[in-house]
Structure 1
């Protein structure tokens, strides 16, 4: 089993070497108390690539994603993202989070602010952009996510899918080099899920480097350059999207046959 798993990891690592690598995890370990969640996770992502991380609940996929943005601090190993040593206690988190955008399952929009105000808040506060420039960026990112007419709406006036697209626009407004998506459609019904996935797919076509933790297998197979299957805190199998049609390990076959 180990040989099959280790062999399967190699394509992702070798594929990263010719291009400029923007995300790299090496032998990352992370525990919460006595619960060891990540057990030596390693993978690399070249610029412009889309990586989908799949696996059962508790496999470590969301923890790995949160470690990339240093929302969780790793116990050992190294993480480099856009030139930042994320494992370094002295890292400048302000600079890291200008380069890395993250969108969660929950939208985390401020209900008392308009869509435009939600989006312009960080560019003005973090980048010190003048209000007019921040509004122009908000208009552009809302156009990207198909909500150009919703700038003056409040979150409660939007559907869940629209709120999630505003959350994506808010991250894009910081002009990140990498976008992270953590189960962003899991709270949405199928129609609204489709709205959000189309936005993510358009970002992929535009060359945005992205890491998606997702349970949408068909979407992962279609959009991802590389799929990483995590099992028991390890990278168990990895390959191109069509590996989901021909899994090499019993664990991935079992996961796909039972769905979530």
Structure 2
């Protein structure tokens, strides 16, 4: 095996606190796009109810790792298990996986011709096959959870960016997933709108939702995350509690945090 030019630093990579029963297990996953190897043996575990923040520079592989967990990308090798489902299995039941794992992106992906409640109801009707009345009730409950029950009849174009992102979160919450994934959901928002979305996510974390969050919001990650994963050059480089941002153990994390200030 050829030597790695920048070998992994000698830091401990702790497992989840409830290592006996992780709800997410990522084990030595590799992923390339053509000749570009994006993930180079990424491993971590997440316990039920944990909030994990994944940080790192652009191109470090953090969003790709998140997308692999929801099978939006397939891994070249390694294994992923979420809520008892082998995501890397070629025969995986994607409908079942989508019911267990919710994902929210930077772009809201709301249907402009549907009102807010109808956007949230869509997957309930077509994936969970709920009746219209049941879907309406669940959608309103999810909208109330993100503070937007009064906007149920509004259309996406009538909402701010922050409100649209909260609708996207409600759409995932309505499916009652066991794990929520957030991929840089505030990166397109101004500071005020970012704050309202982060408050919703903080409430979800406080309520015990299992969450993996790719973010550039260092203050939020430090305050809310149970653990932070720092990725660098396609690898897990450091893992620790929020205090690790005050005491980085590697030059790479120090440099990353200095550039973010």
Whether TM exceeds 0.5 here: the answer is yes
Structure with the largest fraction of helix:
1
The correspondence of residues 77-116 of structure 1 with structure 2, limited to 5 A, is 77-116=78-117
For 1:7, the equivalent position in structure 2 comes to 11
Structure 1 residues 9-50: Cα deviation after superposition (integer angstroms, max 9, x where no partner): 1x2x163414x3111110000000000000000000000000
The correspondence of residues 92-171 of structure 1 with structure 2, limited to 5 A, is 92-171=93-172
For 1:229, the equivalent position in structure 2 comes to 230
Q: Give 5+ residue unaligned stretches, structure 1.
A: none
Shift of 1:2: 4.8
Cα RMSD, aligned residues only: 1.2
* Paired residues, number: 256
For 1:25, the equivalent position in structure 2 comes to 26
For 1:41, the equivalent position in structure 2 comes to 42
Normalized against structure 2, the TM-score is what?
Answer: 0.96
Task: Give yes or no for contact 2:178–2:209 (8 Å, CA) kept in 1.
Answer: yes
Task: Give yes or no for contact 1:6–1:236 (8 Å, CA) kept in 2.
Answer: no
For 2:3, the equivalent position in structure 1 comes to none
Task: Give yes or no for contact 2:101–2:181 (8 Å, CA) kept in 1.
Answer: yes
* 3-state SS in 1 of match to 2:135: helix
Q: Give 5+ residue unaligned stretches, structure 2.
A: 1-5
Shift of 1:7: 2.7
Shift of 1:141: 0.6
Task: Give yes or no for contact 2:16–2:22 (8 Å, CA) kept in 1.
Answer: no
* 3-state SS in 2 of match to 1:180: strand
Structure 1 residues 141-173: Cα deviation after superposition (integer angstroms, max 9, x where no partner): 111100010000000000000000000000001
1:206 & 1:179 partners in 2: Cα distance?
Answer: 13
Normalized against structure 1, the TM-score is what?
Answer: 0.96
The structure 1 segments of at least 4 consecutive aligned residues displaced by more than 6 Å after TM superposition are none
